């Protein structure tokens, strides 16, 4: 009798598990399609990606095409999604789709065009080549879903030269450049390239930025190490064209550094303007202050900060 009860219980749990699994699968969506080269209609080995915001986290879904250019993605959350495809040597492309629960959506196909190349130079305010500058692409009117690789980020060589080989053709974009000693700058001219085209001669001149230094101490004058120092800009240092997402500018508007063993910190290449200063450490009361940066008036701003210990 007990044996039969045990079997019945196991059967019930198995049915319950299968029922829950089937219910969960019924809420999931699937997506499929092909990726080909626009010029030749030949299949491409490509990556297809989706970002799904799921606060407080973000979910990433990826698929890679097979030798026939086909891909499929299973277990996707339903809803409106941006699907992005890319392949080595080609620009990226995106499509907006609506995924229904329990429905297989497709085909969602992509025809990728040959990537364009940009060659140029970054110089300082005196016209001297600037090595180690970071150069990126800032596209106009991209969808909300973006990846870091879309910027085509490179560094300038000893002669200040750069070469970006992954520009997506037939999309408007700007060049942006930044350096540890210089604020970010966007090119004044909007660019657009044809498939496989090479654009040469772009020159970006960077103007020196202000420097902000300081030392964080406790009430007794002892250095506070590993304190988080944040500088948040209240406005952009220059007009940004509508629809342009600048990664360098986003980082410029919110700079973060930590104090060293002596409680000291340095932030270089800051654009002029008001900044909100926030200093935090788990053992101390948060500190907040406003500073004004004007390189022509004061190239370097220094500040001594005392933190109060948290009461137990």
Asked whether the beta carbons of 267 and 212 are under 8 A apart, the reply is yes
- pTM for the predicted model, two decimal places: 0.80
d(CA 312, CA 309): 9
CB 120 within 8 A of CB 201: yes
User: CB burial class (10 A; 0-12, 13-18, 19+) of residue 98?
Assistant: exposed
CATH number of 22-112: 2.60.40.10
> Does CATH number 2.60.40.10 belong to domain 210-307?
yes
Continuous H helices in the chain: 2-27, 247-253
Please give the C-alpha separations between residue 190 and each of 12, 160, 232, 252, in angstroms, as whole numbers. Answer: 65, 21, 28, 21
3-class DSSP state of 154 = strand
For the domain made up of 116-205, the CATH class stated in words is: mainly beta
Q: Rounded CA gap, 284 and 296, in Å?
A: 35
Which SS3 state, helix, strand or coil, does residue 109 take? Answer: coil
The torsion region of residue 201 among left (phi > 0), alpha (psi -120 to 50) and beta comes to left
Q: Which residues contact 274 (CB under 8 A, 6 or more apart)?
A: 233, 234, 235, 290, 291, 292, 293
Whether 99 and 70 have beta carbons less than 8 Å apart is answered as: no
Burial classification of residue 60, based on how many CB atoms lie within 10 Å of its CB (0-12 exposed, 13-18 middle, 19 or more buried)? exposed
Per-residue pLDDT tens listing for the chain (312 residues)? 555 554 555 554 444 444 444 444 568 999 999 999 999 999 999 999 998 777 777 788 999 999 999 999 999 999 989 999 999 999 999 999 999 999 999 999 999 999 999 999 999 999 999 999 999 999 998 876 678 888 999 999 999 999 999 999 999 999 999 998 899 999 988 999 999 999 998 899 999 999 999 999 999 999 999 999 999 998 888 888 888 988 888 888 899 999 999 999 999 999 999 999 999 999 999 999 999 999 988 999 999 999 999 885
**pLDDT score of 312:** 59
Distance CA 283, CA 277 (A): 18
Residues facing 54 on adjacent strands? 57
Q: Is the dihedral of CA 270, 190, 193, 80 positive or negative?
A: positive
N- to C-terminal Cα separation, the chain = 62
CB neighbours of residue 131 within 10 Å: 14
- What is the per-residue pLDDT for 149? 86
**Structural domain spans, the chain:** 22-112, 116-205, 210-307
pLDDT at res. 24:
44
Q: Are 176 and 136 in contact (CB under 8 A)?
A: yes
SS (H, E, C) 259-289: CCCCCEEEEEEECCEEEEEEEEECCEEEEEE
The pLDDT assigned to 214 comes to 96
- What is the C-alpha to C-alpha distance for residues 291 and 37, in angstroms, rounded to an integer? 52
**Spatial distance between the Cα atoms of 62 and 262, rounded to a whole number of angstroms:** 45
Q: What does the alpha-carbon distance between residue 27 and residue 77 come to, in Å, rounded to a whole number?
A: 7
């Amino acid at each position: 009798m007990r044996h039969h009860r045990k079997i019945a219980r196991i059967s019930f749990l198995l049915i319950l598990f299968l029922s829950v699994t089937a219910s969960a699968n019924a809420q999931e969506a699937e997506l499929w399609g092909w990726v080909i080269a626009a010029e030749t209609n030949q299949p491409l080995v490509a990556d297809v990606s989706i970002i799904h915001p799921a606060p407080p986290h973000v979910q990433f879904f990826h698929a890679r095409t097979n030798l026939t250019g086909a891909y499929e993605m299973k277990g996707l959350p339903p809803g409106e999604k941006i699907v992005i495809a890319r392949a080595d040597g080609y620009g990226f492309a995106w499509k907006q789709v609506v995924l229904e629960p329990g429905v297989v959506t497709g085909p969602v196909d992509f025809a990728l065009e040959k990537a364009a190349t940009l060659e140029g130079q970054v110089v300082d305010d005196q016209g001297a080549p600037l090595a180690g500058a970071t150069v990126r692409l800032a596209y106009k009117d991209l969808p909300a879903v973006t990846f870091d690789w879309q910027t085509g980020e490179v560094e300038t060589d000893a002669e200040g030269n750069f070469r970006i080989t992954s520009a997506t053709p037939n999309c408007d974009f700007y060049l942006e450049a930044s350096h540890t000693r210089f604020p970010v700058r966007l090119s004044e001219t909007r660019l657009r390239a044809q498939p496989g085209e090479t654009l040469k001669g772009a020159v970006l001149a960077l103007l020196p930025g202000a420097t902000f230094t300081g030392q964080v101490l406790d009430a007794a004058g002892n250095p506070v190490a590993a304190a988080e120092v944040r500088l948040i800009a209240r406005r952009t240092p220059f007009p940004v064209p509508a629809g342009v997402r600048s990664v360098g500018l986003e980082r410029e508007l919110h700079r973060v550094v930590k104090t060293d063993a002596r409680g000291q910190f340095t932030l270089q290449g800051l654009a002029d303007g008001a900044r909100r200063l926030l200093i935090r450490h788990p053992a101390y009361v948060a500190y907040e202050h406003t500073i004004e940066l004007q390189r022509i008036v004061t190239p370097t701003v220094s500040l001594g900060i005392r933190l109060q210990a948290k009461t137990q």
